[in-house]
Amino acid sequence: MSAPEASRHRIQLRRRIFEIERLGSVPQVIWRLIEALGDDRINTAELVRIIENDPALVAKVLSLANSAYYGLPHKVATIDRAVIIIGFQELQVLALGVGLADIFDPSQFPAGLDGEMLWLHCLAVSWTAGRLAELAGYPSPREVMVAGLLHDLGKMVLAIHVWDEYRRVYELVDQGMPYFEAEEHTELKHTEVGYWLAVNWGLPNIHTSVIRDHHLPRETDTYFASTCLVTLADLLVKKAGLGLAHESAPLDLSAVMDGAGLSVAATDEAAEQVTTVLPPILEAWRLLIKNGG
Cα separation values, 137 from 40, 80, 263, 266, Å: 14, 28, 12, 11
Give the model confidence (pLDDT) of 200-234 as tens digits: 888 899 999 999 999 999 999 999 999 999 999 99
Question: When comparing pLDDT for 99 and 106, which is higher?
Answer: 106
Query: Considering only the top CATH level, what class is 18-291?
Result: mainly alpha
Cα separation values, 250 from 94, 174, 216, 224, 256, Å: 30, 20, 9, 18, 12
Which helix (H) or strand (E) is 20 found in, with range?
none
**What's the whole-number mean pLDDT along residues 239-257?**
92
Please tell me the predicted confidence (pLDDT) of residue 66: 82
**Domain chopping of the chain, boundaries:** 18-291
Output the pTM of the full model. 0.88
| Most confident option among 97-111, 255-269, 279-293 | 255-269
**147 and 129 in contact (C-beta within 8 Å)?**
yes
Is pLDDT above 50 for 293? no
What's the pLDDT band for 53 if we cut at 50, 70, 90? confident
What's the pLDDT band for 190 if we cut at 50, 70, 90? very high
C-alpha 120 chain-centroid distance = 9
Question: When comparing pLDDT for 97 and 224, which is higher?
Answer: 224
Q: What angle do CA 235, 236, 237 make, to 5 degrees?
A: 95
What's the pLDDT band for 193 if we cut at 50, 70, 90? very high
Please tell me the predicted confidence (pLDDT) of residue 3: 63
Is pLDDT above 60 for 75? yes
What's the pLDDT band for 257 if we cut at 50, 70, 90? very high
